[in-house]
Amino acid sequence: MRILAHGEAVRPRNPIEIALSAGQNSPEKLPGLLSIFNELPIALAEELKNISFIPMKITSLPLEAGRFGEAVPLPTCAAVTVVTVRQLKGSVLFACDFDAAFLFVEAALGYDFVMPSTATKRELTAAEYNVLHVLFRRLARSLSHVFSRVADVVFEITSVIEPSTLEPICSPSAATLVASIKLDIGGKHGMLYIAIPQDLLTPVRGVLGVSRAHEAASTDEVDDSDWSQQLSAELARAFVSVSAVLTEETISLADVQRLSVGSLLPLSITTTGRARLEFESEPIFWCELGKRDGSLTLRIDQNYMQDEPDSEFLDGH
């Protein structure tokens, strides 16, 4: 798919376009892109969770390749927006069918979906287009978020337009990847479409051709000793609270109720007793209690859980 300016002639297809339309870059050959659209529903659901008090369920359908005119059902779409991707020097399209458009508008305006909806398939009003613009903006932000994990790109939308105004600026025969997203609200659903021109992905096809699992495994094998040392040094400078528990007593609730300002509590402790040294409320050492220069002191005697060598805290696991 190419975005053409008004009056610009459609150029003859070059060998790259012919190869793309022949299926040499099917979704299965771009596992990185597949993982992006697998993660997109989670990101979009997070973006839309505060739009309506009715939960919105987002589902991603399998990515498909084809010609734009065949893959995107424009006759059933209520609105389309051109989305600029400056880093890739091109654009993609977001489309929304009538069911999804009216579902989102009603949900955003507070409809509870208890009574039957009176919305019919008609042209959207200017106010409804403005509400739908919120959906497209959140979708662009979600796509930017998941895409940034493999490439530094940002999807920026302009204005929402009617599908009828799209024909002069798009080539129906362009090789396109189409992601279909199902929007379910209150038991009703509609469809969103993301149309990506195949040639737009040329600069990032290398990273999209690598699976995220393989990429993560390769990253794990790298031993960054400098970073490990810096992280250890930063952690070592962190402050933690330290407390010494000299004794603990058990009293009844009746005794607690009788306590007031001035009450005395007898403690079974001596100056030769032991104290429990805690770091951030986690017991670590047993200490001997003593005095030095007129002050109480603690001398670390042994590990608090010395008899429990499998302690995760002490082992540092």
- Confidence (pLDDT) at 55: 82
Nearest alpha carbon to residue 74 among 100, 96, 104: 96
Share of the chain above pLDDT 70, in %: 73
Which two structure tokens, joined as six digits, stand for 283? 């017991």
Are 200 and 90 in contact by the 8 Å Cβ rule? The answer is yes
Catalogue all structural domains in the chain, each as residue range(s) with its CATH number.
15-214 (3.40.1550.10), 238-248+269-317 (no CATH)
pLDDT band at 160; cut points 50, 70, 90: confident
- What pairs with residue 298 in β-bridges? 289
pLDDT band at 192; cut points 50, 70, 90: very high
- Confidence (pLDDT) at 142: 93
List, in sequence order, the alpha helices (H) in the chain: 15-21, 31-48, 68-71, 98-108, 126-147, 205-208, 212-220, 225-236, 253-258, 312-315
- Confidence (pLDDT) at 4: 38
Model confidence at 66: pLDDT above 50: yes
Q: Which residue has the higher pLDDT, 162 or 149?
A: 149
pLDDT band at 181; cut points 50, 70, 90: very high
CA distance 135 to 105: 9
Q: Residue 16, Cα to own-chain centre: how many angstroms?
A: 34
Model confidence at 258: pLDDT above 70: yes
| Mean pLDDT calculated for residue range 13-35 | 61
CA distance 231 to 236: 9
DSSP 8-state secondary structure symbol assigned to residue 265: -
- Confidence (pLDDT) at 39: 92
Write out pLDDT tens, residues 193-202. Answer: 998 888 888 8
pLDDT band at 40; cut points 50, 70, 90: very high
Model confidence at 68: pLDDT above 60: yes
- The residues, any chain, with a CB within 8 Å of residue 16's CB and separated by 6 or more, are 199, 202
- The highest-confidence range among 47-56, 82-91, 233-242, by mean pLDDT, is 82-91
Share of the chain above pLDDT 90, in %: 9
Q: Which residue has the higher pLDDT, 78 or 308?
A: 78
